Amino acid sequence: MGISERIQIIEEIESILNNNKDNIDLPENHKDSVKILFSDSSVINLCRNVLNREFMDKLNYEQLKEISQTLSSVSNKLNDISNNIDIELFLKGGYRLDYDGLVNKFNELGLSKLFPNIDLKKLTSFYEKPFRFLKAKYDNNLKINYNAVVVRKFIIAILQMVFNEMDLLSVYTGSEGAGKSTLCTQHIYLMYYILTECNIINYPYKIKNMMFSSLSTLRQAEDEMFSEKFRLIALDEGNELHRQNWKEEEVQVFFQRLRRERFNQRIKFICIPVLGELMTNIIMSRVNFIFEVYSSNMNKLGILEKGKGKMYIIPRGNVIYSYEHKKELSVDKIKASLYDNLKDKTYLKGMPSELVIQKFQFNGTNGFPKDEYIKELKLTNKSFTTKSGIRIADTTLYILYRLNLLPKKIGLKTSSPEYASYHKFLQHIRTYFIDNPRVFKNEEEKFKAKHLHS
């Protein structure tokens, strides 16, 4: 490739960048990065070959793969450049957080009594230059990757919690094994890191105080930490919150607290397979962030690649900017689209694509040590087997399920020491049949047949 060709291509790119008056002007350093990228010999050869009709007529599979790899590399580098620009340009006008304005508002509201040590300077710095990764707290050799837009949205949520006495409810949806729990733990650590670094919280980072596998254990933790603001609390298995269980006492307590205890400034994370399994009025009025995780096919290997995500936001203000669609979405449009999606069982098709705020990728590093995660959460969901090896028969489980002996029906109050264990047992039965519908159907048919012949 001759020098004249390089100069011509660079001049053409520069002309495109300079003459596109509808877009935000790119900072000079980023223009240089784009010029260097498109003056690379592999990119030049790609452009030349694609424009060559004879080359395209004789195109073989290996050449196609080379084109794919080059385009993928270019795309990744352009995304990096775009993300770097996003750090410097907020939305469409190059805005930054007004640190002096935040300080004045902080003093005006008399918030120093509630947050005497808060570091607003660091918080605004994190916003303007969001980190791309954090080292895992339990292992410096492991990193958790973060998307810059997602980090900024969590920081905005923190600011609204501090200044507007808000709470935060984030829901993680997706099929089994897609990575809901992993992403949830990553965001727990993200929030813990920011809140700790900015001197908003100082409690220890322990999974047993943050992630729970049942509503009863989560409620007990909330009771113990009732007076503490900015507590990070996650429900790893949200099946209990299914809309069909809305009469359950624990479910009612959970939703009542969401409605009434906004001023306690809780940060709650819920993992649930499908968003629509939650009650519509709770989604529309209390949910803030929604993360939908999914896997893509790796055709050549025949396996799945995890770590794909989409972020949705139900804004507290009147609009939210979508980085995916490059436009602002009104809260009215978002709620109308969500409401239509949640009617009947339309939600089973997934979230409305027109509401995506940001697509992102995340890695498989858990926010907690894996052995602790398994010990505290996964082992609590074992099948119905006692330590001595006695198994409860499916028929007995079905009868117990059919009797629906709720705690209050047998005289147990939420303050009773037996309440949590008994309620958890009932939830295990329900989960068992949800996960094993054929077993339930067989037992139901056996029960009906026996009833008809008796």
CA distances from 50 to 44, 47, 58 (A): 10, 5, 11
Q: Which helix (H) or strand (E) holds 82?
A: helix 61-88
Q: Are 110 and 43 in a shared domain?
A: no
Q: Are 323 and 426 in a shared domain?
A: no
Q: How confident is the model at residue 422 (pLDDT cuts 50, 70, 90)?
A: confident
**17 assigned to some structural domain:** yes
**63 assigned to some structural domain:** yes
Q: Are 364 and 243 in a shared domain?
A: yes
CA distances from 319 to 28, 39, 224, 315, 436 (A): 31, 40, 37, 7, 43
Q: Are 287 and 334 in a shared domain?
A: yes
Q: Are 257 and 241 in a shared domain?
A: yes
**94 assigned to some structural domain:** no
Domain end, chosen from 69, 88, 107, is at 88
Tokens 């006008």 locate to 93
Average pLDDT (294-309) is 78
Task: Tell me the chain's radius of gyration from C-alpha atoms.
Answer: 26
Report yes or no on whether pTM surpasses 0.95. no
What pLDDT does residue 260 have? 65
Question: Please, what's the b/e burial string for 11-47 (b: 16 or more CB within 10 A of its CB; e: otherwise)?
Answer: eebeeeeeeeeeeeebeeebbebbbebbbbeebeebe
Q: Are 47 and 134 in a shared domain?
A: no
Does residue 299 have a pLDDT over 70?
A: no
Residue 110, classified by CB atoms within 10 Å of its CB into exposed (0-12), middle (13-18) or buried (19+), is exposed
Does residue 304 have a pLDDT over 80?
A: no
Does residue 160 have a pLDDT over 80?
A: yes
**Residue 79, token pair as written in the block:** 């995304």
Which residues make Cβ contacts (< 8 Å) with residue 424, sequence separation at least 6? Answer: 214, 216, 217
Ordered DSSP codes for 320-362: EEETTTTEEEEHHHHHHHHHHHHSTTGGGG-S-GGG--EEEE-
Which of these ranges, 133-137, 149-153, 218-222, 265-269, has the smallest mean pLDDT? 218-222
Q: Are 239 and 211 in a shared domain?
A: yes
CB 189 within 8 A of CB 142: no
Q: Are 12 and 119 in a shared domain?
A: no
Which SS3 state, helix, strand or coil, does residue 189 take? helix
Does residue 118 have a pLDDT over 90?
A: yes
**Residue 110, token pair as written in the block:** 């008399």
**312 assigned to some structural domain:** yes
Q: Range of 407's domain?
A: 382-453
Q: Are 161 and 40 in a shared domain?
A: no
* Average pLDDT taken over every residue of the chain: 80
Q: Considering all CA atoms of the chain, what is the largest pairwise distance in Å, rounded to the nearest integer?
A: 95
Residue 450, classified by CB atoms within 10 Å of its CB into exposed (0-12), middle (13-18) or buried (19+), is exposed
Which of these ranges, 73-77, 103-107, 319-323, 449-453, has the smallest mean pLDDT? 449-453
271 versus 421: which is more confidently predicted?
271
- Predicted confidence (pLDDT) per residue in 339-353, tens digit: 888 877 777 777 899
Q: Are 386 and 367 in a shared domain?
A: no
421 versus 381: which is more confidently predicted?
421
**39 assigned to some structural domain:** yes
Domain end, chosen from 347, 374, 401, is at 374
> Which sign does the torsion angle of CA 44, 45, 50, 54 carry?
positive
Which 3-state string (H, E, C) describes 24-70?
CCCCHHHHHHHHHHHCCHHHHHHHHHHHCHHHHHCCCHHHHHHHHHH
CA distances from 134 to 42, 82, 139, 141, 187 (A): 33, 21, 11, 11, 11
**177 assigned to some structural domain:** yes
What pLDDT does residue 411 have? 83
Share of the chain above pLDDT 70, in %: 81
**Residue 56, token pair as written in the block:** 């395209």
- Rounded to 5°, the CA angle 373-376-382 comes to 105
What pLDDT does residue 396 have? 79
Return the half-sphere exposure (C-beta side, CA atoms, 13 A cut-off) of residue 302.
0
Share of the chain above pLDDT 90, in %: 31
In this structure, which amino acid lies at residue 387? Answer: K
Q: Which of 209, 203, 101, 202 is nearest to 159 (CA)?
A: 101
Which SS3 state, helix, strand or coil, does residue 179 take? coil
Rounded to an integer, what distance in angstroms lies between the CA atom of residue 88 and that of residue 360?
Answer: 19
126 versus 401: which is more confidently predicted?
126
- Predicted confidence (pLDDT) per residue in 261-283, tens digit: 666 788 999 998 888 877 777 78
What pLDDT does residue 431 have? 78
What pLDDT does residue 134 have? 96
Does residue 383 have a pLDDT over 50?
A: no
In this structure, which amino acid lies at residue 168? Answer: L
C-beta neighbour count of 379 within 10 angstroms: 10
Q: Are 403 and 356 in a shared domain?
A: no
Q: Are 356 and 422 in a shared domain?
A: no
Q: How confident is the model at residue 428 (pLDDT cuts 50, 70, 90)?
A: confident
**14 assigned to some structural domain:** yes
Domain end, chosen from 88, 121, 149, is at 88
Per DSSP, helices labelled H in 343-435 are 370-376, 394-403, 419-435
Which contacts qualify for 102-108: CB closer than 8 Å, 24 or more apart? 102/159, 102/163, 105/163, 106/162, 106/163
Does residue 112 have a pLDDT over 90?
A: yes
**152 assigned to some structural domain:** yes
CB 362 within 8 A of CB 307: yes
Total domain count for the chain?
Answer: 3
Rounded to an integer, what distance in angstroms lies between the CA atom of residue 143 and that of residue 153?
Answer: 21
129 versus 388: which is more confidently predicted?
129
- Predicted confidence (pLDDT) per residue in 50-98, tens digit: 788 888 888 888 888 888 888 888 887 887 777 666 555 544 444 478 8
